[in-house]
Amino acid sequence: MNEFDKWRERYDTMTIDEQITYHNELEARYPEQNHYNYDNVKEALLLCNNAVVLEFGTWKGDLAKQALQDFNLSGWYGIEICEAAIRSTKCKEVNYIKPTKFDWFTDKRTIKADIIIATHFIEHLSNDHFEQLAKYCKGVKYIHFESPLTDEGNNWVGYEGTHKLTIGWDKINEIMKQNEYSLIIDKPESKTYISYEYSRNIINAK
């Protein structure tokens, strides 16, 4: 059993403060964690104009920095568990609002975002926390996930990293449907969804 297997085993009993401390320690060892396919993110961002973005797992703001330079975005908010990464942000754009609190998506969402982006984030959650995340997202027009998951499910035993989510894309799509989202862009490791409500509004406006 490696150190990450031990973390996976302890995950459900760790407090938020313990998780923050653990991720701060990881940041000291692995400071660069900017994993995303920018072409896929751009495709999602092109769906809405002057968007307010809420990103899960901002790390040091690498994606925000690039997107804010390339798109006319009204604001970029974030949720990030690693306080050390937040303190070392690379994004100095005026519309970038530094992440402030991590609560496992238990508090009511107060940020009125047009699109949620989570690249290489959801695989670090437990199945239960992903379901909480899906409920937390309700009301946002678009959601873009990017993650190295299989369709059927995932077994991370022995994996050298903080991957935890065992459900696959098939189950994720089902959970998103239960929360009133339709899959509109479907790629092997990248999915973009639209809310039923916003989709109806688009149709009614035509």
| Gap between the Cα atoms of 38 and 45, Å rounded | 10
Residue 202: pLDDT band (50, 70, 90) is confident
| Gap between the Cα atoms of 6 and 140, Å rounded | 35
Which domains, ranges and CATH numbers included, belong to the chain? 3-205 (3.40.50.150)
| Token duo for residue 20 | 């923050």
| Helix 127-137 with 169-178: angle, nearest 10 deg | 40
Q: What is the mean pLDDT of residues 124-144?
A: 97
Q: What is the mean pLDDT of residues 103-131?
A: 94
Statement: residue 206 has pLDDT above 70: no
Mean pLDDT of the residues in the chain:
94
Residue 83: pLDDT band (50, 70, 90) is very high
Residue type, 190: S
Confidence (pTM): 0.95
